[in-house]
Amino acid sequence: MLVKTNGDVSFWYADIGGVPAKRAPLPGDQQADVCIVGAGYTGLWTAYYLKKANPALSIVIVEREFAGFGASGRNGGWLSGGFEWSREKYLKNATRAKVIAMQRAMAGTVDEVERVTREEGIDADLIRVDKLLAATNKAQMVRLEEDYQFQLDWETPKESLAILSAAQAAERINIANLEGGLLLRNVARVQPAKLVRGLAAAVERLGVTIYEGTTVGRISKGIVETDRGTVRAPVIIRATEGFTAGLPGHERLWLPLNSALIATEPLSEAMWAEIGWKGHELLSETAHAYCYAQRTREGRIAMGGRGVPYRYGSRTDVNGQTQQATIDQLHDILTRLLPQTKGVKIDHAWCGVLGVPRDWCTTAGFDEKTGMGWAGGYVGLGVSSSNLAGRTLADLILKRDSELVSLPWVNRKVRNWEPEPLRWLGVHSMYQLFKLADQREKGGLEKTSRFATLANRITGH
């Protein structure tokens, strides 16, 4: 499938007039109360809540490219407040009540992000929508029914989710071969780059300084060394998510997992009439090679999925350019689910990296002795969870004894990934097994394929 633009960071920038000009770099050695490395959602939310709580703090953000260059300017725009990490793993160090509190706090991020965007006048195309997880075969439907029950067992409010029949799901979006769906109510859709750029402008208005085009080489107690000088600060926050492996000492902490998207040309009104999707639902299929999609402000479909999952040695992409094989895979998924789009052109394709800890569970933390903190390893759920991370880090730094600092993801230690080639082999075999599992389930298997169970076991998912 031919695309007009591949890379250029993401379609979301093309949508707002192109990749932005960079702010000034660090003008030499500096001192601050807080230095944050990385100007994505995590770094910006942390700066936002710190400055709101204590306007006197001097806060400097150091960013290699520009605010929103990473996953925050490239994602699928699902502001879902979801909890897709293993609750059982958090239970090893926390009570069930605390895990439920964390789940609630994550769900609450949707309201909180909406509140701040309204208060700060950030136009991020944010609308409240439902999320539709579609099943296109029996095994997928069984998984959705199990998931529904699992969510209820974990005290998700009953009114916030519903199992849909094939006909009910098709009323929402006219997907081919529907078996049914699971609906999660009242989440939100955003234009990711508009959110991150708006947030960067908001923290600047509060008095935070963002230095762009400045690469951090090393972080140690009180010192951030960059190619433009050194920032000395008693508090340093690492907010580099999928790029963390590039920092000395963190090479095996979070695996940079690749995710890619395509954006169609705007669809005609006649085609929208065939497809439905009037509620702008966040859409996903429950395959192991999952996909995620949104209907954009101007009537395009942006659909993402894994594509080529991981580059040897934790390397990352160049400016979001993705492989042709990935574009073809995503196009196949789009036209399989929505055959109405077969003749539609693809305007843009791009990719980015998300951070994956060895146990696939996100963490946020702060070491009072060294003054160093971090948050991330969101495994692709950072649009909402980065907001909770920002509030949590602010409380930790300000030594506030809030409910947030006692949630189970705080100061959790996770072991490192294996050295190469084991890392590459593990991730690539996982995806091969997922592919086999999807094939078996599509072929009529009525429950989750054992290939998928094996894949999860190999990688500790």
Residue 360 vs 451, nearer CB to ligand FAD: 360
362 binds ligand FAD (CB under 6 A): no
Instruction: Please name the residue that has the structure tokens 């409010």.
Output: 157
Contact 19, 9 (CB under 8 A): yes
384 binds ligand FAD (CB under 6 A): yes
Tell the smallest beta-carbon distance from residue 45 to ligand FAD (Å). Answer: 8
Query: Which of 372, 385, 399 has the alpha carbon at shortest distance from 50?
Result: 399
The full length of the chain comes to 461
203 binds ligand FAD (CB under 6 A): no
Tell the smallest beta-carbon distance from residue 186 to ligand FAD (Å). Answer: 16
Site string for ligand FAD, 327-356 (x = CB under 6 A): ------------------------xxxx--
Tell the smallest beta-carbon distance from residue 326 to ligand FAD (Å). Answer: 11
Total residues contacting ligand FAD by CB under 6 A comes to 46
Task: Report CA Rg, the chain.
Answer: 21
381 binds ligand FAD (CB under 6 A): yes
72 binds ligand FAD (CB under 6 A): yes
Name residues contacting ligand FAD, limited to 253-272 (CB under 6 A).
259, 261
Name residues contacting ligand FAD, limited to 28-67 (CB under 6 A).
37-43, 62-65
Tell the smallest beta-carbon distance from residue 180 to ligand FAD (Å). Answer: 23
- CA–CA gap between residue 264 and residue 331 (Å, rounded): 10
232 vs 21, 131, 248, 281, 374, CA distance in Å? 27, 44, 18, 46, 17
Query: Which of 404, 388, 406, 408 has the alpha carbon at shortest distance from 42?
Result: 388
- CA–CA gap between residue 136 and residue 442 (Å, rounded): 8
Tell the smallest beta-carbon distance from residue 219 to ligand FAD (Å). Answer: 9
12 binds ligand FAD (CB under 6 A): no
378 binds ligand FAD (CB under 6 A): yes
Contact 408, 276 (CB under 8 A): no
- CA–CA gap between residue 48 and residue 66 (Å, rounded): 17
Q: What are phi and psi of 391, to 5 degrees?
A: -70, -35
74 binds ligand FAD (CB under 6 A): yes
Q: Which residue minimizes CB distance to ligand FAD? A: 382
Q: At what angle do helices 96-107 and 382-397 cross, to 10 degrees?
A: 110
Query: Which of 147, 355, 167, 352 has the alpha carbon at shortest distance from 256?
Result: 355
309 binds ligand FAD (CB under 6 A): no
103 binds ligand FAD (CB under 6 A): no
Name residues contacting ligand FAD, limited to 219-248 (CB under 6 A).
239-243, 246-247
- CA–CA gap between residue 265 and residue 8 (Å, rounded): 17
13 binds ligand FAD (CB under 6 A): no
The residues, ordered by sequence, that sit 6+ positions from 204 with a Cβ below 8 Å of its Cβ are: 210
What residues pair up with 165 in beta bridges, in sequence order? 180
Residue 35 vs 141, nearer CB to ligand FAD: 35
Query: Which of 244, 196, 205, 235 has the alpha carbon at shortest distance from 394?
Result: 235
Tell the smallest beta-carbon distance from residue 46 to ligand FAD (Å). Answer: 9
Tell the smallest beta-carbon distance from residue 443 to ligand FAD (Å). Answer: 29
Residues at the site binding ligand FAD, with contacts judged by CB under 6 A: 37-43, 62-65, 69-72, 74-78, 80, 215-216, 239-243, 246-247, 259, 261, 292, 304, 351-354, 376, 378, 380-384, 386
